[in-house]
Structure 1
């Protein structure tokens, strides 16, 4: 028995051996609306803006990653006592480029974690909130030498803070513009139960806002089309999605749980409502009085009746997979049909990327289109407008029969009885998608 036990202990310790890669330690974020500050930054770190830092992973760090990876972020309280959005992004920067800017079009990025800060008072403990994400899928990115020969891999840490309320509400914050402190590390180990056979990454959207405080109060206008081209068949592609609604005024989108729909090549692949869980476990981090948590614990039913996310919690990373995608053009449609953005305020911040097998990096072939389809339901007409011109619309019955066609940008349902119909829409450039509408 003793002879068998020792090899088992050695093998077990090898599987459990962990490596920690420290990327950022207590970097200070400043007022997101102010001019970029000039305070010193840690070695090898670049301040892209008051709200974002970046650092290149060295070859030694990339080589140390194993197939099990946990991302850990800690956000510390300084002089912002409100809930804010933050995230972690991977930036693919052309090989050998010593620095870059947020607007560098040669840089391809994707978001691997998002969080909502709690309402924190820097004078009340706890003054730091932890977030953790399982990101085993990143091993195929960090270990891909073909990718690394073309791009350097940088990690960005982001949190957009504003100090104005804390300047008067938090002791010691008068006149200050530092808002949060951030720390980030990866913990990695080998785990034989974890399998990741991806060999490519296709960034699609990174913190891309729908509506963005600029459109209307009409439902049906929150539709995003993502068009991408595959140079060869992609085996077992998996899509990753991070999304949060914002808009805090009366009826704001962050307080209304709405159904989200994702379709790939006109087939619905994912449906969900953000949030819908109790936020009580995060109460301890919300040390500044606020209108969300209040003074007393709330029931689970109270929380799940309205919340989209919890201040102090990590935002879920949603995903879906399909068996394969053929070479050629594909369209992914993301929509929140009932979003209305009361008072023309609010936005839905969307990030998306794909990993697959047998597909070369093809980031240059991704394009996006915003489309508005309204009103829906309708008593007569449905208007379609977007960043690409409408070339053709077919009105179909739910069983697929073509009822009428038009080259106009609106579909006339006046002659049809109440019910559900499908619009088959072709835009300039060959983008094609279908959309369900209801005739009242």
Structure 2
């Protein structure tokens, strides 16, 4: 069992365990030793970050830990998470590191890792690294200490890679696009890429100050972007999160479409073009039942995984699939990227608009969703509310009531101290009753 790593790397409140400078140094030394098992040759690691104030602290601490084991560090500065996966492979690095807490508020931060192939680490690799963190590692000899240097053109390299995923002759001229960068890692790259492709760009969330990432903006809070789309008469809005690995789309009426609708569009389009490998889309247990029914109607399958885009990617690689993602907006197109890429997915939505001549509202409503309700309950340190007998009883009762009418999913978040209670059911009254009943018991168990 992993103690330090969660669904997506190590995450927590900055300057509080495990997101302290001391722990970041220990983590850096451990992963440096893990990926530098062969003492010969040159070993390098690329480090990217988003715009959080604590990123400076963690970047320096990780660099110290990594160089202490003989790793040479290449600092990319603020770049989207998918850029780290790309640069890890293109720069022939042994390891990639992204300092980000994704969609979380600015007081949080996290550390994500990519292997030399550009893909996120396996559970077993994380377990092995945790063991090294606990045991401690011996530093390199003085003459073998690593070096660190800045890479100034990382975001430009990434921007070119994102554009290359589109047909060379495709232009976005005539499209008025609101791009919300969540005051995060893509605050410069995303507007630049859209402008270079010919779009009329209206930027939102492009003034990071270290403390405003995801604050009233971005994919988790798209209200301002939706209002901007309507007030400017824009054709579409693209909302990224803090590290730009997820996206939601806003149509010309200000209506928000989640990752399920975007995946449905891409899967259907790619299938018609004979580009969808394996005849399937890979998504998590959180994706709406309506998506599964829609795909079945198209003669396609939905392969479900545990929550987390890395589990989606693992299944894609195992089955040879090339499209997957999460309802939250992580869209993985493995022909072009190794992880979720919000900007790339947004561009492919715009490409569909250009190629079909349809409005965003037509493309972003591919299927009717089955009513779905998700509620979160926060719990304290050391608490385990899902183990309480009263909660287990409430869950059993809810499953019995939903039998044949819907589905229930209860899980502990891998990135925040939250219990997530989700259900789907055509009967909205029953849906609210079962979710509220479980939430009440979880709240009672947490005091």
| TM-score, normalised with respect to structure 1 | 0.25
Structure with larger RCO (C-alpha < 8 A, sep 6+)? 1
Kindly name which structure, 1 or 2, has the bigger radius of gyration based on alpha carbons.
Answer: 1
Q: Structure 1 or 2: larger strand share? A: 1
Q: Structure 1 or 2: larger helix share? A: 2
| TM-score, normalised with respect to structure 2 | 0.24
